[in-house]
Amino acid sequence: MDTSINQLQKFRISTYHCLGFAKDATFDLLDAILTTRNAHSLADFSLSPLFRRQWSSVYECLQDCCPNPNKLMELYLEQIPGDEAEYMTVGIDHTSSPRPHSPTLQDRGYHHQPSASGKVTIGQGYSTIAWIPEEKGSWALPLRHERITSFETPISKAVWQLRQVTKRGNKPVLALLDSEYGNASWVNLSSRY
């Protein structure tokens, strides 16, 4: 038990050092998010006893915080057990975030939304690469979750994310992908690495 608490404390300290500006407020917000059962708005997290600041600090810390994604990913990769398998299994997926009423939002574009009967939505796209443990269960450890800019495609972003993981991982990587990536574009871009 003591070892796991020490590991958690070490992980929290390492995470804290990856956050950039507004570390203290961001860490308070993280603790509030992890311990608040129901929040109807972002400002609700300021009511948590773990968030020791004024409600406006919730928005300020999100605006000021600039976490280092490479250092965070390396920290996450360190948490993966080394003896689990010969290779590391990751899943990659593209998700759209509908924002139809935000015309001034940066990089807003048209995205396919499969859950809405094949409709197209206006918003932003995000790509996630996550470690999938070999054990039974339904959880995954997101290694990178990033917005797909207007200069990228879901496939080019996924290839780039996979490259970042393979460069920093200590095992061969097995990537699980859905049908969106089963085409010549994926093969051509991923074979360059």
> pLDDT tens across 26-55, in order?
999 999 999 998 889 888 899 899 989 888
- Do residues 21 and 99 share a domain? no
| pLDDT value of residue 53 | 87
Domain extent for 37: 2-64
Task: Give yes or no: residues 59 and 73 share one domain.
Answer: no
Whether residues 98 and 54 share a domain: the answer is no
Band of residue 116 on the pLDDT scale cut at 50, 70, 90? low
* Of the residues 64, 82, 110, the one at which a domain ends: 64
Is residue 54 located within the same domain as residue 78? no
pLDDT at position 100, please? 87
State the pLDDT at residue 98.
87
- Tally the domains of the chain: 2
> Is pTM, for the whole model, over 0.85?
no
Max avg pLDDT among 77-86, 115-124, 156-165: 156-165
- Are 168 and 79 found together in one domain? yes
Alpha helical stretches, state H, 23-172? 23-35, 56-64, 69-78, 154-168
143, 80: one domain: yes
Look at residues 47, 64, 81 and tell me which one is the last residue of a structural domain: 64
Average the pLDDT over 61-87 and give the result: 86
Answer with the one of 49, 64, 79 that is the final residue of a domain. 64
The alpha carbon dihedral of 187, 188, 190, 193 has a sign of positive
Residues 51 and 80 in one domain: no
Residues 53, 75 within the same domain: no
Contact 148, 157 (CB under 8 A): yes
Share of the chain above pLDDT 70, in %: 94
Are residues 166 and 78 located together in one domain of the fold?
Answer: yes
Q: Where does the pLDDT of residue 140 fall: very low under 50, low under 70, confident under 90, or very high at 90 and above?
A: confident
In this structure, the answer to whether residues 31 and 74 fall within a common structural domain is no
Statement to judge: residues 116 and 129 lie in one domain: yes
Name which of 161, 170, 157 is nearest 143 in CA terms: 161
What is the pLDDT confidence band of residue 91, given thresholds at 50, 70 and 90? Answer: very high
Give the model's pLDDT for residue 1: 42
Judgement on whether residues 128 and 171 belong to the same structural domain of the protein: yes
